[in-house]
Structure formats: structure tokens, C-alpha cells
Amino acid sequence: MAFIDYYKILEVDKKATEADIKKAYRKMARKYHPDLNPNDKEAEKKFKEINEANEVLSHAENRKKYDEYGENWQHAEQYEQAKQQGQYSRGGQQDGFGGFSGGGDFSDFFESMFGGRASGGGSRHRNAQFKGQDFSTELHLDLKDVYTTHKRTLTINGKNIRITIPAGVENGQQIKINGLGGEGSGGGPKGDLYITFAIENHTNFKLDKHNLYSTVDLDLYTAILGGEITADTFDGKVKLTVKSGTQNGTKIKLKGKGFPIYKKEGEFGDLYITYQIQIPTNLTEKEKELFTELAKLRTS
């Protein structure tokens, strides 16, 4: 019977760690699990190969024996006897290949090398537990929607699920909700639900991290003489005092009037307002005369 390359079956390197093997096995076993591939003989065959590979590589004693003898497995028993009698040394070269945990008969190769039972003490017919399939979805929201914490009802795989969306969630951010994925098999846990937020900004504010930015038009006369104006913030209007002689492009900061900070209740960024002075147009003759007088006064 032919030698079986267990490492190749699990698509891992011979130097793979126990964690690497476990990860590769779970990924491939989930992909070829009979519950997900009904009436698929090729998938069933692949599933048995994956389980057998894992049965060897996930147990230190099995893997050690497999790595030591490799393609010379047929002579393993003679080697063992020779070593006990001090007649043979392997010379340090290892030729290993690699993984399991359940379901299906073992191959003749496995039976011959390991005697039909896992050296780690496990039964040849253990039932594998698999976590359910993870679900993922994209939730489209407006920037206004995530200014406050609120609840939403989503339909996932035909089920209505009510979730809480925390204030300050960012565009592209992903959250995981445990146990809202597919059903597990063999008594395994449910999968998880991953939600990616796609947030569009239809407001007049620019958002950068937790800070908001806006531009406010300021008439020439208020900029020169000073006064009081009303400006928009994200959650309402505020009155602002404008200093006389305010220049175009002047920027002011309104502390705590920015966007909420994710998972930090009551904490907000700041709002930065830039004044954009409006030059009057369509002046009357009288207005032109007055501006001319002002110009003369400034240059006299």
C-alpha cells in the first residue's frame, strides 16, 4: 500500500505547529463536512482523509512516529526492535508529512502503521464537533443614524435579529456578535455574525475621526463690526459671538460638539467652524459712495 502524505492533505508545512495543524484541520473539515456536502462522494472521501491526517498529526506520539519513519513506515517495527537492541540509529533525518478528530474508517496505511487506534489513546470512531458557519452582512447607515445609540432589526438567513448599534460606529468598522451564525454540528457551537458598517455622510459636516468640520458664511459687516450669529451643530443650533475685525478663514473650536466616541459614553470630539466672509454684490450707488468714503478714510 502507498505511503500517505498527511502534511500535504492538510496543506501545512512539516514544521507546522500544533496550532497551525488545528487551524488547518478545522478549516478544511468544515469545508468538506458531509452535512454541508450531502451526497457528495468526493467530499466524503476528502473528509475522511482530513480526519485521518489530523488523527496522526494532532497527537504528539503519532506524529513523532510518522515523522521518524516517513516512507519507511513499512519497516517501522524492525527499526523499533533494532533500536531496542542498539543496532540502529535513524541519523537525525526526518521525513514528515500531516492531521484528525473524527468520523470514518482509517486507511490501510494508518491501520498498518498505528494498529487501528490512535497512539494518543483516542478511539478510531470519535465524533468531531464543528462550529457552525459564520455569517457576514453589510449594514448601510447614514452618519446621522450613528450619532446616537439605537436598535435595529436585521433579517439574517430568514431570521429577524434585533441588535444595538453603539453611537460612534465608524465606516468600514466590523463587529462580531457571538452565536448568531449557523448551527453547529456534532454538538459544536453556533457560528458568529460579522457586521460591517457602510456609513454615508449626507450632512454639511466633514468627519475626521471624532472631530467635525463645517464652514459658516459671515457677512462683511458682522466680520468688520462684530456681532452675534446662529450656527448649526450636529445636534442643534448655537449662538456665537463674532469679534470685530474677524478675518476670512478664521477657525474656531466648539469643544465637545463633535462626534461621539465609540464605546465611550458621554465623550465627544470637537467641532471646528471656519468663517467664510461674504463680499456684498450688486451695490447701489449710495453704497459705492460710502465704501469710497471708507477707503479714503483708511488711506488718509
* CATH number of the domain bearing residue 103: 1.10.287.110
pLDDT tens readout for residues 170-218: 999 999 999 888 888 777 888 888 999 999 999 999 999 999 999 999 9
In a domain, 127, yes or no: no
- Residue with the larger pLDDT of the pair 268 and 43: 268
Pair (222, 182) in one structural domain = no
Structural domains counted in the chain: 3
Prediction pTM value: 0.56
Pair (82, 54) in one structural domain = yes
Round to whole Å and give the CA distance between 272 and 58. 58
Burial class (CB in 10 A: 0-12, 13-18, 19+), 224: middle
Quick one: what percent of the chain has pLDDT higher than 90? Answer: 45
In a domain, 244, yes or no: yes
Mean pLDDT of the region 104-108: 65
> Cell 521518524 maps to which residue?
68
Pair (188, 159) in one structural domain = yes
Local confidence band at 135 (pLDDT 50, 70, 90 cut-offs)? confident
- The reported pLDDT for the residue numbered 83 is 52
Decide if pLDDT at 80 tops 80: no
Mean pLDDT of the region 236-251: 96
Count of CB atoms within 10 A of residue 176's CB? 12
Pair (210, 191) in one structural domain = no
* CATH number of the domain bearing residue 272: 2.60.260.20
In a domain, 128, yes or no: no
pLDDT tens readout for residues 218-239: 999 999 999 999 999 999 999 9
- The reported pLDDT for the residue numbered 41 is 87
Pair (154, 72) in one structural domain = no
Decide if pLDDT at 122 tops 90: no
Instruction: Check: CB of residue 130 under 8 Å from CB of residue 184.
Output: yes
In a domain, 241, yes or no: yes
Pick from 131, 193, 200, 133: nearest CA to 163: 193
Q: Angle at CA 107, nearest 5°, toward 69 and 97?
A: 35
Identify the domain containing residue 179 by its residue range: 135-200
- The reported pLDDT for the residue numbered 249 is 96
Decide if pLDDT at 76 tops 80: no
pLDDT tens readout for residues 11-29: 999 899 999 999 998 888 8
